Structure 1
Amino acid sequence: MRQKSTAAVLAFFLGGVGGHKFYLGEIGWGIIYAIFFWTYIPTIVGFVEAIVLVSMSQDDFDKKYNTKALMGYESKRLTRDAIPPQVIVNIGDQAIAANQQNVPPSLAPDTPVDQNIAKEALDRRILKFCQTKGEVTLLDCFLEIEEVPRNILESHLENLVRAEFLQVTNRATDGKIVYRLDN
């Protein structure tokens, strides 16, 4: 996973030769910077990019540079657009997602404990699905767990990967991103 501070330091000190571009996975831009380093234009742009990187929020940095590393192209494409905040409501065995503005008071989780229970129920459901199928894609999860919006499902998958319950790999046959239980 790429670090914002490392990218900013590389942009400041090695921006003229594109060191930060190579680090951030923008190889084409890195080569262009390296070719034109003698003009000092990449050096000036590197200083500006160092300032931009330092002032960028961690969430914006992660969306731009770390989403592909964690979840692959599919995740980057799906999380590009802002989606209104969602809440998971636990009703019996089902987790139902709804916009926070539209949740009737009787169904809204009253306490953080209720919210945690709903999140854990969805996590268990995802893990059981992965255990049953062996390996699943985001689309498989989305089709299996219909009542949960894609952005919430995706964030739960990312959290399960970070918590090391799931592994993210590419399927050998078609290159698709798949999730497997981390044994």
Structure 2
Amino acid sequence: MARFLRLCDAHGLPVVSLCDTPGFMVGPEAERTATVRHFSHLFVVGANLSVPLVTVVLRKGYGLGAQAMAGGSFKASMATVAWPTGEIGGMGLEGAVRLGYRKELEAAEDPDALFEQMVAAAYEHGKAVNAASVFELDDVIDPADTRRWITAALPAEVRRGGRPWI
């Protein structure tokens, strides 16, 4: 993907990123294969693009995977919008609940029921509409309006075939 972004940048082609990622896997196996080191190229290339980037979160936008799809941050794109099905979070929500509430889950009489309740609350909180309400996203859009949003986000020169960023 980093090579593709460099190719687009070299030829002055705007990038539309359709984000549906649960994130990058981390942990001992990922460390043995240097996964994060390899993916870091994507962050560097994405953050240094000279061409316009528009991000559309289709479904999942979690952690480092979502950051990579958005050029390093949801704020880096010319526009970052989500479909109503979008979910935003620092990591997969089930994993976040397991890690963040480990002590509470261990102390609970019925940890499975508490886990399900906490996951449901995390999904409610992670909805794209909630992320947009705190300006993490530019908007939550009807999927039918995606093309209009992409073209509206690009500078007028791009829509006429020019390259104002070069």
Which is richer in helix?
A: 1
TM over 0.5: no
Greater relative contact order, per chain length (Cα 8 Å cut-off, separation 6+):
2
TM-score range, shorter chain: under 0.3
* TM-score calculated relative to the size of structure 1: 0.26
Q: TM-score, normalised by structure 2?
A: 0.28
Structure with greater Cα Rg: 1
